[in-house]
Amino acid sequence: MTLLEIFPSLRSAMTPRLDPAVWPDGTHVDDHGRITVAGVALADIADQYGTPSYVLDEMDLRGRCRTYREVFPEAEIAYAGKALLTRAVASWVTEEGLALDVCSAGELAIALSAGVDPRRIIMHGNAKTPAELAAARTAGVGRIVLDSVTEIALLASSLTRRQNVLIRVTPGIDAHTHPAVATGVTDQKFGFPLAHGQADDAVRRVLGQPRLNLVGLHCHLGSQITDAAHFATAVHLMVGQMAQIRLDHGLILTELDLGGGHGICYRPDDPQLDLSTLAGAIENALDEACARYRFPRPRITLEPGRAVAGRAGVTVYRVVSVKHITGGRTFVCVDGGMSDNPRVALYGARYSVALANRHSSAAPAVVTVAGRHCESGDELAVDVELPSDLHPGDVLAVPGTGAYHHSLASTYNAVGRPPIVAVRDGRSRELIRRETVEDLLRREASR
């Protein structure tokens, strides 16, 4: 008889610590060695809803909304819906006092169907179609962010009343993020560069349209930014541009939207953006820039998405097979993969993984958690330590999957997208049901 069999309560104490930097706040290990989130065992989620499943801790997400409101009491916080948007999520963030940022007619429809006040919605997008602009106009969204010369003319020609707008400016700041998500540099598709007078030209065009009410400027530096100094630099450049607009046109803009991109941890040793440091950097930069240009302090808007939803999410998978390659790696193959988490293939993202359904006293082994899809690059986690006694049927949990997982999911290999299961106070409920083969077949035309 083992010590664990004599003292079962030691199981949780012997389970490796679940780092709060990557797991939801409500994560614990129960007396059976199972990982629980908000009082619900992830193994029970796997049994009830199947695998893979996205699990979302409602109170963790709400808590991060409250933290933003506390750290930035004078700023407007607009949740970036592209990270994760369902009716429930839209309701949660707005109930916590956040505005909402959407970038398509679909996201706008989800927000409106959840009862979000359209005046609290910001409409983004670098290639908004006439139909999407019409949807935003009809809904009465609070602000539309203008991103191209074509869009300026298109929106202005379709309005019957004044519409508040922001101009998206590209400040030319390299925040040293992955090239695929570096949106602050000049040579990319978003916004009007400060360089070569393109932002100045956009301002002139907007001010020439009587139904466009220019209230401020917008910028976005990229994603997964961990150094607050980049935001301070953006404040200096943007306030300088606002002061130039006052000089050239006699207009005082009152809003400065600094976008989002606030970096979070996916693994315990990852760097992350400290919100208190960010608040101090923005505050100091505003004081300095406004004093330098003698410009009245604008209202700041921040657009966190990943930093609100990312750590609230966990994805559960079931082990299908364990394959040992002589002279090579050990592959733990699961029933999901790049269709529910494309970030590994897209960006080389790296994740933590844990055995969720039991405690194991076996020695750790270095393995690759591989997906089910017909691509050699379909790997969810490379060179991670998991117990050497893993076997088919075990449940694995990957934290940090609340943002850009459901929203980027595909139906590759005709595999339906997973459900989203919300957990709170020991209870679970399905927010989005699993997509079935029947759902996929319904889209096909008859032969």
Say what the pLDDT of residue 70 is: 98
β-pair partners for 169 = 192
Say what the pLDDT of residue 190 is: 75
Q: Tell me whether residue 374 is one of the annotated catalytic residues.
A: yes
pTM exceeds 0.95, yes or no = no
Query: Alpha-carbon distance 422 to 400, whole Å?
Result: 15
Of 377, 404, 168, 369, the C-alpha closest to 264 is: 404
Query: Alpha-carbon distance 349 to 344, whole Å?
Result: 4
CA angle 399, 401, 402 (to 5 degrees): 120
Query: Alpha-carbon distance 443 to 350, whole Å?
Result: 34
Of 409, 404, 403, 337, the C-alpha closest to 374 is: 337
Query: Alpha-carbon distance 67 to 111, whole Å?
Result: 22
- Consult the annotation and say whether 97 binds a ligand: no
From the candidates 219, 265, 333, 374, which is the catalytic residue?
374
- Cα-to-chain-centroid distance, residue 114: 19
- Consult the annotation and say whether 240 binds a ligand: no
- Consult the annotation and say whether 305 binds a ligand: yes
Token digits of residue 342: 């494309």
- Consult the annotation and say whether 95 binds a ligand: no
- Consult the annotation and say whether 261 binds a ligand: yes
pLDDT along the chain (447 residues), means of 10: 45 59 95 97 98 98 98 98 98 98 97 98 94 96 96 94 96 63 55 89 96 97 93 96 97 97 95 97 98 98 98 98 94 98 92 96 96 95 96 98 97 97 98 97 89
- Consult the annotation and say whether 427 binds a ligand: no
- Consult the annotation and say whether 347 binds a ligand: yes
Say what the pLDDT of residue 446 is: 80
**Which domains does the chain possess?**
3-57+311-442 (2.40.37.10), 58-308 (3.20.20.10)
Say what the pLDDT of residue 447 is: 74
Give the SS3 label for residue 292: helix
Token digits of residue 170: 């590209």
Query: Alpha-carbon distance 374 to 413, whole Å?
Result: 8
Query: Alpha-carbon distance 136 to 424, whole Å?
Result: 33
- Consult the annotation and say whether 375 binds a ligand: yes
| HSE toward the beta carbon, residue 423, CA cutoff 13 A | 28
Query: Alpha-carbon distance 43 to 53, whole Å?
Result: 11
- Consult the annotation and say whether 404 binds a ligand: yes
Give the helix/strand (H/E) hosting 93: helix 87-95
Number of Cβ atoms within 10 Å of the Cβ of 221: 24
Query: Alpha-carbon distance 146 to 287, whole Å?
Result: 27
β-pair partners for 100 = 79, 121
Say what the pLDDT of residue 188 is: 62
Say what the pLDDT of residue 176 is: 58
Phi, psi of 289 (to 5 degrees): -70, -40
Query: Alpha-carbon distance 73 to 75, whole Å?
Result: 6
Token digits of residue 16: 């490796």
Give the SS3 label for residue 274: coil
Residue the block writes with tokens 């389970």 = 15
